[in-house]
Amino acid sequence: MENAKVPHFFKEIKERMKLQFYPFNDLYLSYLIFFVLLIGGIGIWVSIAQELRKEVADYSNVALNIGTYYLALITTSYIDITTNDKIVNKKSLQVYSFIFLFVIAAIFVTSFFLVVKYSLLLSAIGIILGLFIWHLANCDNDKFNDESYNAKIRAGAKNTHGKDWK
């Protein structure tokens, strides 16, 4: 018999997808764009710049760098998911994330045997899936919430300095 308080797995995924966007959190989006996409993907950006400087570009190295990026992204996200106490359907999310990990690894390996344009297409799919899993793993992370951070600081100050601390 299913517990009525536990939401269905796919309903939880739908709700988690909305977190940080409804209501909009600019800190989360800034972190995602600057640190995850720009700094984390520096190898991709460097390989694109190198290929653009060549007379005849061969984007197979770009596809390889994209592949290593999304593999690292989903692997670290999987660790975040397994250690996140806020997830209600944790076992289901772990299983589906683990399946996604193998799907992404299969996409990565398959991309080596394809023409470069299809390899880049598979790499784009891998990045989308990797970012999706990263969002599911980090959408309820308190480090992206200024209010919860400030509340922790105030609580720590009250515990250390007494109740009159504001």
Among 137, 119, 158, 98, smallest CA distance to 19 is for: 137
Position 7 pLDDT exceeds 80: no
Instruction: Please determine, for residue 86, whether its predicted confidence score (pLDDT) is greater than 60.
Output: yes
Average pLDDT score, the chain: 82
Q: State pTM to two decimals.
A: 0.77
- Given this model, what pLDDT does residue 34 score? 94
The span from the CA of 105 to the CA of 68, in Å, is 10
Given this model, what pLDDT does residue 78 score? 84
Query: What tokens were used for 14?
Result: 């739908």
Q: Which of 135, 103, 106, 148 is nearest to 20 (CA)?
A: 135
Tens-digit pLDDT profile for residues 95-124: 887 887 888 888 889 888 888 889 999 999
The three-state secondary structure class of 90 is helix
Tokens of 95: 């299983």
Q: Is residue 36's pLDDT more than 90?
A: yes
Query: Given this model, what pLDDT does residue 164 score?
Result: 62
Maximum Cα–Cα distance across the chain:
69
Distance between CA atoms of residues 98 and 112, nearest Å: 22
Distances in Å between the Cα of 43 and the Cα atoms of 33, 53, 84, 92 are: 15, 16, 29, 33
Q: How confident is the model at residue 1 (pLDDT cuts 50, 70, 90)?
A: very low
Residue 50, pLDDT > 50, answer yes
Higher pLDDT, 1 or 46: 46
pLDDT at residue 27, as a whole number: 87
